[in-house]
Each structure stands twice: as structure tokens, then as C-alpha cells.
């Protein structure tokens, strides 16, 4: 009995309708600009090789080039976010798949978002950018310092951050968010913390015995940013055991810390010297301030209240 494959080949050669359809498909594929470019790049490809790999060429042509897609989500290719690439190997044409530009961009954006770990920060702060900072002479020194920090961080993380002091609503927190996003472009992670909520969470963490774990996490962050320091309810425990412990570690390891506050450094020392019980401990407050000065540089941020 004649093998079925031989019978099919014989039928294909003698059936005129099939031959016509086959030739029409082949010419349609060869008219595709991407196929033409591939063949021009590989002049060694013969007609026989093309005949053997018509299904491969058909698979390639029936997928959408990256530039025709709006996003990875709307991609219609066999593998979302991947575009086909024709390759010549061992006298055969093969398809491999590579990430498209939009897929790479999406992954970079997701990676950048993962690099910015935040607690209790509004979305507008997490989306801040240095380019979108309104030009304002009174904020210019802070912006210049941040740009310089980011530029140095590309090669080596500076040992000192900034202490941004100024009145309510002048954009101090936005500046931190803008810097965090710029640093994420260099694969440097930032942890942003809103201090009043952070202290409240740590008190709750006493119940499930996770205080040490949380404090250790903030100790070792690449760049630590403490927003609105001085606004939290003061206690000897939060000042000495929490803030003091974090700052001591970062000072010893020469890791930068950024702060925002409505108080200048001098005013903050008086603020943290008084606990919620009314105790005044100037020496302990002075010790905390010494650590703050070791890990940051004070910059006054002025301007109008942008939250009105």
C-alpha cells in the first residue's frame, strides 16, 4: 500500500486548484515587506527553502508588528507583548519571539514602581517628577540639591540626604516623590514614610511582635525618606527606640536619610524634647538631632501654599 504522505504529495502536485491556491498564498507572503527585507538580508535562501517553510512565513505574517499595537494589553500576537523574529538556521527558516518595545517599557515601569516602597503616601506623590516641578526661585536650592544627589547616586550613593524644612503646603513631600522616581530610573530603591501613621502602625505592631522586623526594614533601605517628622505624637519610645535606632544604624553605615518637616532642625530639637507625658529630655533630643545632622543637610523650602 502506498504510504499516505506520498499519496498526499502526489495529490498536491496533480490538483490544479490546490496548486493555484498554494501559489497565491506563496506570492502573498513574498509580497510582505518584512519577508522581503528578511530575504534581502539572506540571499542564500532558495526557493526550495521557502517552499518548505511557508507555514513558518504564514505564522510570521499573521502577527501584528509592535508599532501597530496601542499597548501590551491589546496585543493580538500569539504571546502578548512579544513580536516574532525570522531567523535562518541550518538551511531552515525559524521564528523566535522577543519582547516588544511596549513590553520592555511596561516592565521597566513596574520595576520602578517596585523600587519605590511607600507607606501612607498619596498617588500624586508617587507619580511626581523633577521635570514637573513648577519653577520657583525659593525652591530652586532644594531642587538643585536633589538633582545633584541623583547625579552622584548613579555612580555611588551619597552619604547624606536632605532635611527639607518649611511651611505647610510648599511642596516638600512632592520633592521627595520626584527624587524617588528619578532614583528608581537608576535601580535605586526608596522607602517613603509618613511619620505620624508610621508611629501609629509600630504601636499596633507590638501586638503581633513585628516591631523589630519593621524597624530593621527601614534601617537598611537604600534611600529612606521620612515625611513630616515632628508631626507624630511624641513618646520616649518612638523617639529613642524607633527613630534613634534607625538613625544610629544609617549613620554608622553611611546611608542617606531625607526628611520633610514644618520645623527647622533647631525647632525640631525643642519639639522632640517633650514627650506626650510632658517630660522634657533635652539631652536625648540633642542626641537624635546629632544623628539627623549626620545623615542629612538642611535646606529651607519656601513659596506659597500650593494646597489652597
54-97 pLDDT, tens digit per residue, is 888 888 888 777 766 777 777 777 777 888 888 888 888 888 88
Chain region(s) in the chain for CATH 3.40.50.300:
108-300
Supply the mean pLDDT for the chain: 84
The answer, yes or no, to whether residue 12 has pLDDT greater than 60, is: no
Q: What CATH code is assigned to 108-300?
A: 3.40.50.300
Q: What are residue 249's phi and psi, to 5 degrees?
A: -65, -45
Average pLDDT score over residue span 23-51: 86
Instruction: Please state, in angstroms and rounded to a whole number, the distance separating the CA atoms of residues 156 and 105.
Output: 25
For residue 160, is pLDDT > 90?
A: yes
Best CA proximity match to 255, nearest among 291, 284, 298: 291
pTM (whole model) above 0.95:
no
pLDDT of residue 298: 96
Please state whether 33 falls in left (phi above 0), alpha (psi between -120 and 50) or beta: alpha
Amino acid at each position: 500500500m502506498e504510504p499516505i504522505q506520498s499519496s498526499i504529495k502526489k495529490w498536491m502536485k496533480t490538483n490544479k486548484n490546490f496548486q493555484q491556491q498554494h501559489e497565491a498564498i506563496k506570492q502573498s507572503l513574498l509580497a510582505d515587506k518584512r519577508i522581503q527585507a528578511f530575504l534581502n538580508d539572506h540571499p542564500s535562501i532558495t526557493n526550495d527553502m521557502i517552499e518548505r517553510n511557508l507555514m513558518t512565513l504564514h505564522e510570521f505574517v499573521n502577527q501584528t508588528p509592535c508599532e501597530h499595537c496601542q499597548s501590551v494589553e491589546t496585543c493580538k500576537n500569539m504571546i502578548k507583548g512579544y513580536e516574532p523574529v525570522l531567523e535562518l538556521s541550518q538551511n531552515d527558516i525559524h521564528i523566535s519571539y522577543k519582547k516588544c518595545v511596549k513590553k520592555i517599557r511596561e516592565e521597566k515601569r513596574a520595576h520602578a514602581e517596585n523600587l519605590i516602597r511607600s507607606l501612607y503616601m498619596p498617588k500624586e506623590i508617587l507619580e511626581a517628577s523633577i521635570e514637573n516641578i513648577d519653577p520657583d526661585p525659593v525652591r530652586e536650592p532644594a531642587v538643585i540639591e536633589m538633582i545633584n544627589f541623583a547625579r552622584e547616586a548613579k555612580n555611588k550613593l551619597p552619604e547624606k540626604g536632605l532635611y527639607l524644612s518649611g511651611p505647610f503646603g510648599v511642596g516638600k513631600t512632592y520633592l521627595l516623590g520626584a527624587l524617588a522616581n528619578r532614583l528608581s530610573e537608576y535601580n535605586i530603591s526608596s522607602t517613603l514614610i509618613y511619620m505620624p501613621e508610621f508611629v501609629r502602625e509600630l504601636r499596633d505592631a507590638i501586638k503581633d511582635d513585628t516591631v523589630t522586623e519593621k524597624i530593621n526594614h527601614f534601617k537598611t533601605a537604600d534611600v529612606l525618606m521620612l515625611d513630616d517628622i515632628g508631626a507624630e505624637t511624641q513618646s520616649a519610645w518612638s523617639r529613642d527606640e524607633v527613630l534613634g535606632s534607625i538613625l544610629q544604624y544609617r549613620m554608622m553605615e553611611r546611608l542617606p536619610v531625607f526628611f520633610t518637616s514644618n520645623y527647622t532642625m533647631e525647632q525640631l530639637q525643642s519639639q522632640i524634647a517633650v514627650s506626650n507625658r510632658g517630660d522634657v529630655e533635652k539631652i536625648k533630643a540633642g542626641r537624635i538631632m546629632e544623628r539627623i545632622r549626620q545623615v542629612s543637610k538642611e535646606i529651607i523650602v519656601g513659596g506659597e501654599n500650593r494646597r489652597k
